[in-house]
Structures are given as C-alpha cells and as structure tokens.
Amino acid sequence: MFLQCLYTTFTLTFILLFIIYWKLIRPGKRIYDVLRAQGIPCEPFVPLLGQVPRLYKYNKQNRIMNFHEELCKKHGLIFMFGLGSYPRLVVQDADLIADILGRAHAPYYQKPRDLSSRLKPLIGLRNLLISNGYEHARARRMLNPGFHFENLRSMVSNMTDETTKMIDKLFESCGKTINLEKELSFLTLTIIASSAFGGNFETMVNAREIVSEAFIAALDAIVNRSLLLIDQIPFFSRLPFWGKDIIDKGCEKALNFVEQIINDRKQGRSKNLCQNADILDLLLKAVDSHGEHFTDEEIRQEAMAFVLAGHQSTGDLMVWIMYVLMTNPSILNACQNEVDRVLPNGMIPTYEKLNELNICESIIHETLRLYPPIPFFVRQCIQDHTIKSKNYQLNIPADATILINSYLIHREEKYWPRPLEFDYTRWMRDPETGLKPKLAHPYCYLPFASGPRSCIGQNFALIEAKVILAMFVQRCNFELEPKNQKIAMDVRIIMRPKFGLFSKITKRR
C-alpha cells in the first residue's frame, strides 16, 4: 500500500513537472536559445520567473523605467529579458521597428495571446484592441472612416460641453486642493463614454457609477493580476481569488449597461450628443465589403474597447501636460498668450479655431514624447521573419514576443537632440506651409504605435487634448499644491503619476 502511494505520488509529481517544463519552460527557452545564438545580449534565463523579482523591486521603488533604462545601457538597442515564462525581445532601433510595425510585414505579427486572455473578461475577443488577422482587418476597414476629420469635427461640441461642466464643477471646490489625476481621468472617461454612448450616458440612472466605478475596478483588478502573473497559468486564473469576483461583477454590470444602450439606440429611445454621428452610430452603420453589419455582440465589444482604450490614456496625457505647465511658467505663459489670442473673451473652441493653436499642439506632442501614456507595447511574431538595419540582421523565430519601448526611443540621443529637454518648439509648424518639422526617423516617435495596429483614436485624442488644454488655460489659474509633492511614475500599461497630481484651481477671470 505504502509503495503504491509512493509510486502514485512519484508518477503524479513527474507528470506535473513534465507539464510545467513542456508548457511553461521549454517554449521560452527555445526562443532564448535561437536569439542568443545570433549574438543577442540576454539577461540570464531563469525558468518561470525571468527577471520578474528584479522588476518587482524596481516597481516597489517607483523606478520601473530605470529597470528598462539600465538594461538598455547595459546591452544596447536590442536585448532580451524574461517576464515570467515569456521572454521579451526588446527592439529599440528605428529601422528594425519599421520592419516589425510596417504595413508590409503585418502578416508576421499580431497582438500577443496573453493580452487577449487578460482583457477578454472585460471587452471580449471580438474588438479592434485584441482581435487579430482577418477579423481585425475587417473591423479596422469598417471603422476607419468613422475617425475621419468630418466625423471628428462633429464630436468637438460634445468635448467642449463636457469640459465646461467639469471646469464649472472644479470652481465649486473654491480653491481647495484637488487631485487633477482623478478629475482629468473622469473627464476623459465622460467624453469617450458620451461620444460612444450618446444621450443615455447623461440620463441613465447609475450610468456614470457603472462606467467609472465598476469598469475601472474591474480594469484595476485585471492589471493587478497580470502584475502577479496569475493569467500566465490558466488553472490559477480560474480560481476565485486575486480580485476575480471584482472582475466578474464589474464586467457583468458594464456589459448589461452597454447592451441596454445599444437596444435603446436601435429602438430610437436615445439620441446622440454630437452634431453628426457618434461612435455608436458609426458602429451601427458600418458595413464590410459584403455589405454585412457588425453583430450586436461585436458592437458591444467594440464600444467597450473604445472606452477602455480611449479614456485613461488621454486622461494621463492631460495630467502630464498639466504637470509640465505647472512646473514651467514660461511654457504656461506662451500657451496662455496663444489661447487668449485665438480664443478671446472666453470663446468656446471650434474645430477650425483648434487648428490655429500651434503652441498648444506642440506642447501636446512634446508631452507625448517625454511622457508617452502608453510607454511600451508588444507584438508576437507568428511566422519566422528576418528584420534588417544598417548594423543588424536578425531572424525572429515564430512565437517570440517583441517589446517596443517608446519611452526610451523618445529619449534616445540618436534621434532627438537634447533628448531630456522639454522643448515644445521642436514641433512648431512652419507658419508659411503649415507643415510640422521632419522627424529624424519616421519610427522614432511612437506614442500611438504605427502601422496597421496603430491607435485608431489618435486624432480623436489629439483634438480632445487640445480642447481640454485650451479651455483649462483659458479659464483657470492652476498651481501645484503642495508645491513639493512627490511625483513618481507608475507604469501599469498606462504611465501615470503614482500619487496623483494635486493642485489648486481658481477662476482666471
């Protein structure tokens, strides 16, 4: 009996270890070996963990970007490190990045599978953010026209309305210290949700609570679980711990809410808040090359993906802009002078007037360069592919995951003179031609990524950022409060100030 027990235990342990090796260690090791054999510098291969313990230590000290900077200093523009069982090939050379992100190479790369499994509970799999292949290309073709300037122009009035409401509410705080990070995140959430869902967002009971609390709580739980690597092991990810109940409840509330909104719009029980079509109209009207519309399920998932992709990124861009303005009086002054000239006497910005705000636009781009809200993104190679630059030729094996760190590329001396200096004038358009200065390389500025998986909402975000910036500097005085508050970068997909950004806001005139 004892021997039989021993034998069974031994066999089960052996099977378990074999599965762990086969599923979780061998695939990563193979990729390490193929790339190391080509001379790629690597951090030591540590099964199952990789460099995660070191990353955690840096994260705890709020120095996550130093982790990446130090690896880049040690190894150069191409290297590898381990993130749990998945190795990450870091590529920082703009020529090589062009070979990865360029349209012609799209068949070789897709969004990584672990990203899909993490976000699936919240937004499903059938949306632009995580679908791949034909499904993604079809949806992108159907939705691209919705983000053309004609449609965006009609969304400006919704952006100015929501910003006016927010600023009026801030004035009610009568100069008390407020956390701008929270307020701006809420403002951008309201703008994208009302652009996506129309009048219901204003009138439905609990709409704001559902989107801003349930949705964000679920998203936070998803990010925390991914930092703990829970989703790398499917068995663990199904256990009812580590915030699973928050995710389940939040997702259910948010999905029911979106379903009701779609039904209301279809049956004419709600109207949009934009002058023309809003995002929900665009989703309802879009047709593919066979004349087919999106299914209800696809509309629901696309709408959720827009809210997910579009709110925190723009919110944190605005936070960094405010931080720059509050710590650089001369930049604030130049910005305020331009806004007072283009939008005198409290004029509400229109699409046409926004185009005249050259300094505002340059401040936005320089902030996106030094503080990109999405500081890195990843691509998974799906069939062996060779990439080349002047100095390198590299055969990327299928299944390798590539990490592109735009934060570091935006600070790379090779592409940017005086890389650490905030100099918005490097973006100023030529007054004669209206053209922006040429970049040192088309792939050295990637706040919105590039190629067929670049951000579909980038023009929406740039217009929205300009509206909020112009209206804030036009109407408010703002200063850091307390002056010596600690600003540390927190990176959880989005890069934001870890402890918020506290300031005092008063009426300008």
Residue 36 has which token pair?
């190391």
Closest CA relative to residue 163, chosen from 309, 320, 349: 349
Q: Which stretch binds ligand HEM (CB under 6 A): 9-17, 34-42, 445-453, 481-489?
A: 445-453
Q: What SS3 class is residue 268? A: coil
Exactly one of 97, 216, 461, 501 binds ligand HEM (CB under 6 A); which one?
461
DSSP H stretches of helix in 243-356: 244-266, 279-285, 296-327, 329-342, 351-354
How big is the site for ligand HEM, counted in residues (CB under 6 A)?
23
Instruction: Identify which of residues 130 and 246 has a Cβ nearer to ligand HEM in the complex.
Output: 130
d(C-alpha 354, C-alpha 470), whole Å: 8
Q: Which stretch binds ligand HEM (CB under 6 A): 321-329, 380-388, 417-425, 453-461?
A: 453-461
Report the site for ligand HEM in 128-157 (rule: CB under 6 A).
128-129, 140
Question: Rule CB under 6 A: is residue 469 a binding residue for ligand HEM?
Answer: no
- The contact mask relative to ligand HEM for 291-310 (x = CB under 6 A, - = no) is --------------xx--xx
Place of tokens 């990490």: 403
Q: Is 441 exposed, middle or buried (0-12, 13-18, 19+ CB in 10 A)?
A: middle
Exactly one of 218, 342, 343, 455 binds ligand HEM (CB under 6 A); which one?
455
**Residue 455 among known ligand-binding residues:** yes
How many helices (H) and strands (E) the chain has is answered by 21, 12
Question: Rule CB under 6 A: is residue 447 a binding residue for ligand HEM?
Answer: yes
Closest CA relative to residue 287, chosen from 135, 148, 141: 141
Exactly one of 32, 377, 427, 443 binds ligand HEM (CB under 6 A); which one?
377
Instruction: Identify which of residues 314 and 358 has a Cβ nearer to ligand HEM in the complex.
Output: 314
Residue least distant from ligand HEM (Cβ): 457
Question: Rule CB under 6 A: is residue 448 a binding residue for ligand HEM?
Answer: yes
* Residues paired with residue 376 on neighbouring β-strands, in sequence order: 405
Contact present, 111 and 379 (Cβ < 8 Å): yes
Question: Rule CB under 6 A: is residue 313 a binding residue for ligand HEM?
Answer: yes
d(C-alpha 327, C-alpha 100), whole Å: 37
d(C-alpha 324, C-alpha 422), whole Å: 9
Instruction: Identify which of residues 278 and 412 has a Cβ nearer to ligand HEM in the complex.
Output: 278
Exactly one of 51, 301, 314, 336 binds ligand HEM (CB under 6 A); which one?
314
Q: Is the peptide bond before 47 cis (omega within 30 degrees of 0)?
A: no
Min dist CB 137 to ligand HEM, Å, is: 9
Kindly compute the dihedral angle of the four CA atoms of residues 197, 252, 312, 375, in this order, to the nearest 10 degrees.
-130
Cα 394 to the chain's mean position, in Å? 28
Question: Rule CB under 6 A: is residue 88 a binding residue for ligand HEM?
Answer: no
Min dist CB 465 to ligand HEM, Å, is: 7
- Residues of this chain that interact with ligand HEM (CB under 6 A) are 128-129, 140, 192, 305-306, 309-310, 313-314, 317, 373-374, 377, 447-449, 453, 455-457, 460-461
